[in-house]
Structure 1
Amino acid sequence: MRILIVILTLTIPGCLFAQSYNALLIPDSLKKDARAVVREDEHILEIKSPSKVILKEHRFYTILNEDGDYLGDFATFYDKHTSINSVTMTLYDATGKELKHVKKKDMEDKSAVSEISLMDDSRYKEYNFYYKLYPYTVGYEEEDEISGIQGFHGWQPLASTKVSTQHSKYVIIAPKDYVVRYKAVNCNYEPVITISGDKKIYTWEVSNLPARTLESHGPRWNEVMPHVLMAPSDFEVEGYKGNMSTWEDYGKFINQLRQGRDALPEDIKRKVHELTDNLKDPREKVYALYDFLQKNTHYISIQLGIGGWQPFPADYVATKRYGDCKALSNYMIALLREAGITGKYVEIFAGEEAPKLIEDFPCSQGNHVISCVPMGKDTIWLECTNQTKSPGYMGSFTGDRKALLIDETGAHVVSTPSYTARDNTAVRVVNASINGEGNLDAEVSTIYRGIPQEGPHGLMYGASDEQREKYLNSLFHLPTYKVEKSHYDEEKGALPAVKEYLHVVSPNYANITGKRLFINPNLFNRSNYRLPKDSTRQYDYIDDEAFRNIDSITINIPAGYQPEAVPQDTHIDSKFGKFTASVKVMPDKILFYRSWEESMARFPPSDYEGLVKFYEQLYKADHNRIVLVKKE
C-alpha cells in the first residue's frame, strides 16, 4: 500500500502544487529577459523492465510575447515502440481562467515521414490554439508507453534561451536492483533517492531559474544550460538485449544488431574481385570500391522499428541499390571484406551544429553512421551516403569531432580528421580593368581547398539553374554585378579542391566625381564583419572556423590618371588572426595583395574588447579606397 501511495502522489502534480496559472503571480525575476515561463514541468519515468517504460509528463508554459508562441505549438511523436496512452491540452487566459480543453481525439494525426524516407513508421499528434492575447498559458499532460528502450529522456529544467522556470521536477521509478545511470552537466543537481518496497525512486527538483540568453559566437545552449543526462544500464529492443554501462558493452550490442548482415550476392562478389584483384595498393582498392558504392547506390532514410539502429542487410542494399547511412556503411564494409580489407563501422554526430560526444557517459549518441579503413598510422574515412564526396574527406559534416568506432571488442572513442587554416584555403587571382566610366571587367580564378570548396563542389553536382544563379549572385559584396561566364574543375582527394573561373562585369564599380576616380582595390573579398561593443560579455568567444584567404589583384586603370591618395598598408599579427593588405599604384595599373588567416580558438570574455578592435581594423582595411585624379 505504501508503494501505491508514493507512486500515486507522484503522478498527480495537483497534489503537490496549487493549480494557479494566473500570469500576474509570476515573480518579476522570472519575467526578466523572458519570452515565456515554465510554470510547471514534471516528468515521471517508470521503468517496468529492461524493455518497457511508462513516461508521464505534466507541463505548463505561460507565453509572455510572440517570441514564445513556439511553446504553444504542441507535437508529440509515436511509432512502433511508443504508444500514446493519453494526451490533453488546456488553454488559460492571463488570469488563469480555462478557455479550452482538447483531448487526443481532437488533435491532428500526421505522418512524420520526410521526403528522403522510404521506410518510417513515425507519426505525430499536433495541435495549436493560435491564441494571441498575451500573456496566456498552455498546459500539456501526456502518458506514453515505450517498449524497446533505446534511451531515456534527460532532465532539462531550462527549456531554451529566454525561457525561465518556476518549477521543474524529474522522477525515475525503477526496480530496486536496476542501475539507473545519470550525469549532471553544467550543474551539481543530485537526486534525492528513496526506497519504497521493491522500488527505488530518484527525484530531481529545482525552482525559480531565471531566463538565460546566448551570445554571438558563444558556447551553444547545451554547453551552458544545466541538465542531467539519463541512460539505461540493461535494456532490450525487439528481443535484442544489451547494456550501456560501458562503451565495450554498447559496442557489443551494436555488433549483435549487425551480425549476419554482411553477406553479398555472388554477382557483387565477382564485381569486387574484378575491380580489385589487379590492384596492389590497398588504398587503390578502397578507392575503387568506394567509387563503385557511389555510382551504384543512393541514400534513403529507413527508420522502421529497430531500423533506427539496425542496418538493412548488405544483400538488400546490393539488390535495391539504396539504403540509409547504416545500411550503406555496412554494405561498404562488406565490399571491403570481400577484397580482403577490414573496414570499421562508426557512429557519429553529423552536421555543423552537431553536439559533442560525451566520452565519459556511455549511451546511444550520434545521428549518423560512416565507415573507415585503418591503414597503419593512417585511416581512410568514408562518407557512404554522398555520391560525389572524395574518399578520405569528412569536411564540415563529420570532420573534427569525436566518434564511436565499433569493432569486435566493443566501441572506442576516436577522432575524425580536423582541418586547419593551412587546409581550408581560398586563393584568388584577379586580372581586371576599369574604364573611364568606372565600369569593371574582371577575370577571376579561385582555387578553393578543404571546407571552402564545399559550396562550389555542391554547385558542380545536381544544382539547378536557379540554385547556381543564386550562388553566383550572392558570391560578392558588390552593388551590381553579373557573372557572364563560369567554369569549375575538381581535384579529388582527402583534401579536395575546386578550381573556379568567373568572368565578372560590374557597371559603375568605381565612383567618378569630377576629375577624380575612387576605387576600392579589394574587388571581391571584403569583410563586413564587425562585433558590437559589449562590456558585459559573459561567455567565451568561440572562433570555430579555420581558414586562409589570399587575393592577388591586378587592376588596369584608364590612361591619364595619377594617384592622389593611397591607403597605407595594413599588417596585423595577433592571437586573433593574421592579416595583411598592401597596395601599389603604378602608371597604368594597381597591384593589391590581401591575406587573412584565422585558426579555431576560444577566447575568454576579457579578450572581447580586443576582438572588437581586431575586426574593426579588418573592416577599415577592406573598405579603404584609392583616389586617382585625372592629369590636366
Structure 2
Amino acid sequence: MKIKTFVSAFLLLITLTAFSQDNLYSALTIPKELKENANAVIRSHDIVIELHNYASMTVRSKRIITVLNKNGLSQIDSYIYYDPEINVKAISGIVYNVFGKEIKKFKKKDFKDYSASGGSLYSDNRVLSLDYTPIDYPFTFVFETETQTNSTAFFRRWYPIENYFMSTESASYKIINYENVPLDVKEFNIDSDGIENLSNKNSIYYTARNLKAIKWESLSPSFSKIAPVVMVAPQKFRLVDVDGYAKNWSDFGKWNYNNLLIGRNNLPEKVKNDIANLVKGIEDPVEKAKIIYQYVQDKTRYISVQLGVGGWQPMLASKVDKISYGDCKALTNYTMSLLQSQNITAYYSVVYGDDDLRDIESDFIGMQGNHVILNIPNDGDPIWLECTSQKVPFGHIVNFTDDRDVLVITPEGGRIEHTRAYTSKENYLKSDATVMIDVNGGFEAEVVSKSGGSQY
C-alpha cells in the first residue's frame, strides 16, 4: 500500500510538472499584469552553474520566452558565444504557436557558426546563432544550452528582468559549488518583490516570480543602472591556462602584473636610444611624456586582437614596435614601456570604456572592465592617457573613460583610482561670427569656433 501510494504521488508530481511546463508554451496563459508594457515575456529561465572545482565548470540554461509582437523579436537571444576554452555540448530550440502547439524544432546542426571577431583583426571567439523569422505573433521559443569550460574567471551574471519592455514570470539562478571554492557575490537592486535569495553554504540560489515590465521613457537611464542583477566571482580561478587568485584588489593586481604583464615591456636598445634622443635636453617628465605620446600616435594604429589569454594579456612591446599596430592592451603597454625606458613611472589601468559612465566595482574583486588606459601618477596629480587614438590630445579622456573608478595595476599590487572629471567650465563650445552683408543682399561670413572638454 505504501509503495502504491508513493508511486501514485510520484506520477501525480510528474503529471503536474508536465502540465505546468505545457502552460508556459501557450501565450494564452500569461498573467494579464505581465503583458502590460511588455513586448516579450520570460515564461521561465533557469540557469544552473556546476562549479566542479576552481578550474572547471558546466553551465546549463533553459529559457522559455513568449514574443508578443515584432518589437520583442530581438529578445529571443537564440545564440551562444564560444571559443577554444568553451565547449558547446548541447544547443537546441523549439517554437510553439499561440496555443502551445509545437511548430518547429531546431537541432545543433541548424545553428549557423560565425566568427565573433567584431572589429578585431583576428579572434578565436565564435558564435552559434539561429536566425528565426516567425510566421505569426505571439509565439513561444524554448532555447536550451549546455557548455563546459576550464576557464572559470567569468561567471554568468543573473538578470531576473532582462530589458525594458520585458516581464518575467519565473526565473532562477543556481551555482552548485562542489569543492566550496570561495565565491564573492554582489547584488544590485535585488530588493524587488518577487525576488528571493535561497542560498546556503554549498550553493548560491536565487529565484524570481511575476516581475512586471519596466517601460522606457525619454531620458531613462541605461537598463543596467536600474535592473536587478547578481554578480558572482571566484576568489580562485583559471583564466585560459593561467591560475589566478582574487581575494582583494592588491592581491589581484599582483597576480595580474606577475602573470599577464611582467616581461611584456622589453624594447630593442635601438628604440630606447631613439626615444632618449627624442627627449634629449628636456627635464620636465610631463613634457617628455607628451613627446613620447605623440611618437606613439604618429607610429601606431589601433587594431583589435583577441586570441586565448591574449584577450587579456598585452602583446610584447617589442612586437608592437616592429609591426606598428595593436589593441588597447598592446598600445597601452607599448606606451608604458617607452615611458619607463626614460624613467617615467606609468601604470597599466583597467576601465569600462563607454560614454555611459560605469565604474569598476570597488567592492567586487575579480575580472572586470573592457578597455585599458595608462596612468601617469605625476606626484599626486595623475594624467590619464588614451593610447588607441591618433588624434586625441595628451591627457584628454572625456566621453569614454572620464569620471569613473578604474583598476590601476602596479608591481606592488592593484588599487582603485578615479579618473579625471571634467567640470562645466571645461566643457564648452564658443563660436564668434562676423557677417558682412552687401547692398544686394549677399554676405560674407567668418566664423571662429573654440571647444573644450566634452565638446572637443
Q: TM over 0.5: same fold?
A: yes
Other-structure match for 2:328: 325
| Structure 1 residue corresponding to 2:446, chosen from 435, 439, 443 | 443
Instruction: Quote the offset at 1:304 in angstroms.
Output: 0.3
Instruction: Quote the offset at 1:371 in angstroms.
Output: 0.7
Pair 1:193 & 2:199 matched: yes
Q: Distance in 2 between matches of 1:412 and 1:16?
A: 53
Moved more, 86-95 or 127-136: 127-136
Other-structure match for 1:425: 428
Instruction: Quote the offset at 1:405 in angstroms.
Output: 0.8
| Structure 1 residue corresponding to 2:340, chosen from 322, 337, 340 | 337
Mapping 1:478-497, distance limit 5 Å: none
- Secondary structure of the residue that 1:128 maps to in structure 2? coil
Mapping 1:82-161, distance limit 5 Å: 82-114=86-118, 116-161=119-164
- Secondary structure of the residue that 2:238 maps to in structure 1? strand
Pair 1:33 & 2:71 matched: no
RMSD: 2.0
Name the aligned partner's letter for residue 308 of structure 1: G
Q: Distance in 2 between matches of 1:62 and 1:42?
A: 15
Other-structure match for 2:250: 248
Mapping 1:274-289, distance limit 5 Å: 274-289=277-292
What is the TM-score when the length of structure 2 is the normalising length?
0.91
Pair 1:394 & 2:389 matched: no
Instruction: Quote the offset at 1:440 in angstroms.
Output: 6.1
Pair 1:180 & 2:186 matched: no
CA contact (8 A) 1:371 1:384 kept: yes
Q: Distance in 2 between matches of 1:308 and 1:17?
A: 43
Name the aligned partner's letter for residue 37 of structure 1: V
Mapping 1:398-409, distance limit 5 Å: 398-409=401-412
Other-structure match for 1:61: 65
- Per-residue Cα deviation, 1:513-556 (whole angstroms, up to 9, x for no partner): xxxxxxxxxxxxxxxxxxxxxxxxxxxxxxxxxxxxxxxxxxxx
Other-structure match for 2:217: 215
| Structure 1 residue corresponding to 2:82, chosen from 69, 78, 81 | 78
Instruction: Quote the offset at 1:277 in angstroms.
Output: 3.3
Identical-residue share of aligned pairs (%): 33
Other-structure match for 2:207: 205
- Per-residue Cα deviation, 1:438-472 (whole angstroms, up to 9, x for no partner): 7665322211122212xxxxxxxxxxxxxxxxxxx
What is the TM-score when the length of structure 1 is the normalising length?
0.66
Other-structure match for 2:3: none
Name the aligned partner's letter for residue 22 of structure 1: S
| Structure 1 residue corresponding to 2:355, chosen from 323, 348, 352 | 352
- Per-residue Cα deviation, 1:495-525 (whole angstroms, up to 9, x for no partner): xxxxxxxxxxxxxxxxxxxxxxxxxxxxxxx
Q: Distance in 2 between matches of 1:15 and 1:378?
A: 64
When residues 380 and 202 of structure 1 are mapped into structure 2, their CA distance, relative to the original with a 3 A threshold, is closer
Name the aligned partner's letter for residue 197 of structure 2: P
Gaps of 5+ in 2: 1-15
Q: Distance in 1 between matches of 2:339 and 2:430?
A: 37
Instruction: Quote the offset at 1:83 in angstroms.
Output: 1.4
When residues 438 and 32 of structure 1 are mapped into structure 2, their CA distance, relative to the original with a 3 A threshold, is farther
Pair 1:410 & 2:413 matched: yes
Instruction: Quote the offset at 1:420 in angstroms.
Output: 1.3
CA contact (8 A) 2:407 2:414 kept: yes
- Secondary structure of the residue that 1:215 maps to in structure 2? coil
- Secondary structure of the residue that 1:33 maps to in structure 2? coil
CA contact (8 A) 1:108 1:125 kept: yes
- Per-residue Cα deviation, 1:454-495 (whole angstroms, up to 9, x for no partner): xxxxxxxxxxxxxxxxxxxxxxxxxxxxxxxxxxxxxxxxxx
When residues 156 and 281 of structure 1 are mapped into structure 2, their CA distance, relative to the original with a 3 A threshold, is same
Q: Distance in 1 between matches of 2:336 and 2:354?
A: 23
- Secondary structure of the residue that 2:78 maps to in structure 1? strand
Using CA pairs under 8 Å that are at least 6 residues apart, name the structure with larger relative contact order, 1 or 2: 2
Other-structure match for 1:301: 304
How many equivalent residue pairs?
A: 436
Other-structure match for 1:231: 233
CA contact (8 A) 1:72 1:128 kept: no
Q: Distance in 2 between matches of 1:190 and 1:428?
A: 56
- Secondary structure of the residue that 2:149 maps to in structure 1? strand
Instruction: Quote the offset at 1:40 in angstroms.
Output: 0.7
Instruction: Quote the offset at 1:250 in angstroms.
Output: 1.8
Pair 1:365 & 2:368 matched: yes
Instruction: Quote the offset at 1:193 in angstroms.
Output: 3.1
Instruction: Quote the offset at 1:429 in angstroms.
Output: 1.2
Other-structure match for 2:169: 166
Instruction: Quote the offset at 1:241 in angstroms.
Output: 1.7
- Per-residue Cα deviation, 1:308-340 (whole angstroms, up to 9, x for no partner): 211111111111111111111111111111101
Instruction: Quote the offset at 1:364 in angstroms.
Output: 1.6
CA contact (8 A) 1:245 1:362 kept: yes
Give the structure with the higher percent strand.
1
Instruction: Quote the offset at 1:238 in angstroms.
Output: 3.5
CA contact (8 A) 1:172 1:202 kept: yes
Other-structure match for 1:630: none
- Secondary structure of the residue that 1:47 maps to in structure 2? strand
- Secondary structure of the residue that 1:396 maps to in structure 2? coil
CA contact (8 A) 1:317 1:328 kept: yes
Mapping 1:13-28, distance limit 5 Å: 17-20=20-23, 21-28=25-32
When residues 425 and 81 of structure 1 are mapped into structure 2, their CA distance, relative to the original with a 3 A threshold, is same
Name the aligned partner's letter for residue 344 of structure 2: I
Pair 1:50 & 2:63 matched: no
CA contact (8 A) 1:186 1:223 kept: no
- Secondary structure of the residue that 2:22 maps to in structure 1? coil
Instruction: Quote the offset at 1:230 in angstroms.
Output: 1.3
Q: Distance in 2 between matches of 1:212 and 1:371?
A: 38
CA contact (8 A) 2:68 2:139 kept: yes
Q: Distance in 2 between matches of 1:45 and 1:73?
A: 19
Q: Distance in 1 between matches of 2:212 and 2:240?
A: 42
When residues 299 and 81 of structure 1 are mapped into structure 2, their CA distance, relative to the original with a 3 A threshold, is same
Moved more, 29-38 or 350-359: 350-359
CA contact (8 A) 1:403 1:415 kept: yes
Q: Distance in 2 between matches of 1:252 and 1:88?
A: 42
- Secondary structure of the residue that 1:398 maps to in structure 2? coil
Q: Distance in 1 between matches of 2:314 and 2:32?
A: 52
Name the aligned partner's letter for residue 150 of structure 2: S
Mapping 1:441-480, distance limit 5 Å: 441-453=444-456
CA contact (8 A) 2:254 2:414 kept: yes
Gaps of 5+ in 1: 1-12, 454-632
Q: Distance in 2 between matches of 1:439 and 1:90?
A: 69
Q: Distance in 1 between matches of 2:363 and 2:320?
A: 35
Q: Distance in 2 between matches of 1:296 and 1:130?
A: 47
CA contact (8 A) 1:328 1:385 kept: yes
When residues 323 and 333 of structure 1 are mapped into structure 2, their CA distance, relative to the original with a 3 A threshold, is same
When residues 327 and 345 of structure 1 are mapped into structure 2, their CA distance, relative to the original with a 3 A threshold, is same
Name the aligned partner's letter for residue 168 of structure 2: T
